[in-house]
Amino acid sequence: MRRAPLRLAVGVGQLVVVAVVVFFLTTSLPGDTAEIVLGQDATPEQVAALRAQLGTDRPAGERFADWASGVLAGDLGRSLQTGQPVVTELSTRLGSTALLAALTLLLLLPLAVLAGTAAGRRAGSSLDRGLTGFLSSVQAAPEFALGLLLVALFALQLGWVPATGGGGGLVTPAVLVLPVVVLVANQLGRLARQVRAGVLTVDRAPHVVHLRRLGLPEPVVLARHVLPGAVLPTIQQLARVVDGLLGGVVVVESLFALPGIGSGFVEAVRARDLPLVGGYALLFAATTILVNLAAGLLSARLTPYRAVLT
């Protein structure tokens, strides 16, 4: 816990590096916003006029300095494409992504603990082999292939759920069913394997064996002594999952036309919308740093010896 401020300070340094690298990588891409938003029929005069209007005809260094000073003053600037504040653009899309991430985690965590525990306590059994084999094969299926398969079956053939989002009136809770299933299927194998490995180790640990000898009921041994120790190694993996979900799941968002931050970032880069790209870069970097910091703190707090020593 005491190292948290130091890690935060390092995180801020990482933010700065990410912002600089992303900004200059994007400026090195061919084409600029004026060309892209005006389309193929624009005349060079029209492109030049829009460049002047957007200020993209100025040197990259100068634009970066302007943007960075704005960021330091708490202003992320405005999108070159839409003219909207970058904060508005990000918050509009962040809601969709946060919802998708939260629902995925809500399903993923209990399923991973259940599957991992069942497999870990009966290691080598047919249940263990069956579960591990099934989860590995689901995890191995690419997201787009699994998504297309689920859409074809559950949306187009059976008509149980909508096929896609797409904004506006199409965004209903039912739209999220298939994307959540795809994301859970993609991550469940990894997390469950971690839990299985943890349960396998802790379940045979001397202190747990001793507690059983003392006659403690099995549910109590499992809930209070096996699982807390077994999920500990899973937290770092979970942090990677959360970071991935909050950083945008481009394939799933594209496949189900969900307006999240993954597809928003891709669109911003395609349009060379530098203030928006910078905003996304800061958001992604901040998310990664905070999620990993939280995971570190959580691991520290859940490690049993700390409770004994402090």
Partner 1 sequence: MTLSRRTVLGGALAGAAALALAGCGGSGGSGDRLRVAFPGGGSRESLDPHVVPQFVDQARAKACFDVLAGWSQDMAPVPRLAESWESDASGTRWRIRLRSARWHDGRPVTATDVLATWRRIADPATSASAAASYRTVDFATSRAASATELDVVLSAPNSFFPLAWGAPGAEILPEGRIDPARPVGCGPFRFVSFTPGRSAVYSAYEGYWDGVPPSRELEFVVIDDENARVGALLSGQVAWVHDLRPTSARQLESDSRARLVSAPDSNTLFLPVRVDRPPFSDPRLREAVRLGIDREALVRVVLLGRGRPGNDMFGAGLEYYPTDVPQVTRDVDRARALVTEAGAQGLAFDLQTSTASPTFDPAAGLIAQQLTEIGLRPTVRQLPSENYFTAIRTTGVASLTRSGTLPIPDNLARRAVSTATQANYTGFRDTRIDDLVARASAATDPAVRDAAVREAQLLLRAESGNLVWASGAYDVGTAAHLAGYDVARTNSATWARFDRARLG
Q: Give the binding site for partner 1 (CB under 8 A).
A: 29-32, 35-47, 49-50, 81-82, 84, 92, 95, 98-99, 102-103, 105-106, 109, 148, 151, 155-156, 159, 162-164, 166-173, 175, 228, 254-257, 259, 263-264, 267, 270-272, 298, 301-302, 304, 307
What is the residue whose two structure tokens read 């989860």? 135
Query: Which has the closest alpha carbon to 192: 111, 276, 89, 294?
Result: 111
Give the number of residues written for the chain.
310
Q: What is the DSSP letter of 78?
A: B
Q: What SS3 class is residue 23?
A: helix
**Whose Cβ is closer to partner 1: residue 5's or residue 124's?**
5
**Whose Cβ is closer to partner 1: residue 24's or residue 144's?**
144
**Whose Cβ is closer to partner 1: residue 131's or residue 272's?**
272
Distance, in Å, from the CA atom of 159 to the CA atom of 136, rounded to the nearest integer, reads: 28
The CB-of-263 to partner 1 minimum distance in angstroms stands at: 8
Distance, in Å, from the CA atom of 81 to the CA atom of 276, rounded to the nearest integer, reads: 9
Count the neighbouring beta carbons within 10 Å of the beta carbon of residue 291: 20
The CB-of-7 to partner 1 minimum distance in angstroms stands at: 18
The CB-of-128 to partner 1 minimum distance in angstroms stands at: 25
The CB-of-46 to partner 1 minimum distance in angstroms stands at: 4
**Whose Cβ is closer to partner 1: residue 102's or residue 209's?**
102
**C-alpha angle 11-245-75 in degrees, rounded to nearest 5:** 50
**Whose Cβ is closer to partner 1: residue 82's or residue 292's?**
82
Q: In this structure, what are the phi and psi dihedrals at residue 268, rounded to the nearest 5 degrees?
A: -65, -40
The CB-of-233 to partner 1 minimum distance in angstroms stands at: 15
* Region of 248 on the Ramachandran plot (φ > 0 left; ψ -120 to 50 alpha; else beta): left
**Whose Cβ is closer to partner 1: residue 131's or residue 229's?**
229
The CB-of-138 to partner 1 minimum distance in angstroms stands at: 21
Count the neighbouring beta carbons within 10 Å of the beta carbon of residue 304: 12
Burial grade of 233 (CB within 10 A; 0-12, 13-18, 19 or more) = middle
**Whose Cβ is closer to partner 1: residue 57's or residue 267's?**
267
**Whose Cβ is closer to partner 1: residue 17's or residue 29's?**
29
**C-alpha angle 65-281-70 in degrees, rounded to nearest 5:** 30
The CB-of-276 to partner 1 minimum distance in angstroms stands at: 11
For residue 144, give both structure tokens. 């787009």
Helical segments of the chain, H only: 4-27, 33-38, 44-54, 60-72, 86-121, 126-140, 143-150, 177-203, 206-213, 218-220, 227-230, 234-246, 250-255, 261-270, 274-302, 304-309
The CB-of-63 to partner 1 minimum distance in angstroms stands at: 18
